[in-house]
Amino acid sequence: MKPTQQLHDLGQSLWLDNITRTMLRDGTLKGYIDELSVTGLTSNPTIFDKAISGGEAYDEQIAELSASAIVEEGIGETPTERIFFELAIADLRDATDLFAPIHERTAGVDGYCSLEVSPLLADDTAGTIAQAAQLHHRAECPNLFIKIPGTKAGLPAIEESIFANIPVNVTLLFSAEQYLAAADAYLRGIERRIEAGLDPEVPSVASLFISRWDVAVAEEAPQELRNRLGLGVGFHVYRAYRELLDSQRMQRLMNEGARPQRLLWASTGTKDPDASDVLYIEGFASPFTVNTMPEPTLNAFADHGKVGDLVPADGGDADELLARFESAGIGVQALAARLQEEGKQAFVKSWTELLKTIEAQRSEAQPS
Domain boundaries, the chain: 3-363
Number of CB atoms found within 10 A of residue 32's CB: 24
pLDDT averaged over 10-residue windows placed end to end, the chain, 368 residues: 97 98 97 98 94 90 83 69 95 98 98 97 97 96 98 98 98 98 98 98 98 96 96 98 98 97 98 96 98 98 96 97 97 98 96 93 68
Q: Residue 140 in 3-state DSSP? A: coil
Contact partners, residue 145, CB within 8 Å, separation at least 6: 112, 113, 114, 115, 167, 168, 169, 203, 204, 205
Angular region, 76: left φ>0, alpha ψ -120 to 50, beta rest: left
Res 32: pLDDT: 98
The model carries a pTM of 0.96
Res 264: pLDDT: 98
Res 195: pLDDT: 98
Helix-strand-coil percent breakdown of the chain, rounded to 5?
A: 55, 10, 30
CATH of domain 3-363: 3.20.20.70
Distance of alpha carbon 198 from alpha carbon 1, whole angstroms: 43
3-class SS string, 83-101: HHHHHHHHHHHHHHHHHHH
Res 365: pLDDT: 63
- Catalytic hit among 2, 30, 50, 147: 147
**Cβ atoms of 23 and 113 closer than 8 Å:** no
- 147 part of the active site: yes
Res 149: pLDDT: 98
Amino acid residing at 186: Y
Res 362: pLDDT: 81
DSSP string, 282-334: HTT--TTEEEEE-HHHHHHHHHH----PPPPTT-TTHHHHHHHHHHTT--HHH
φ, ψ for residue 14, nearest 5 deg: -100, 115
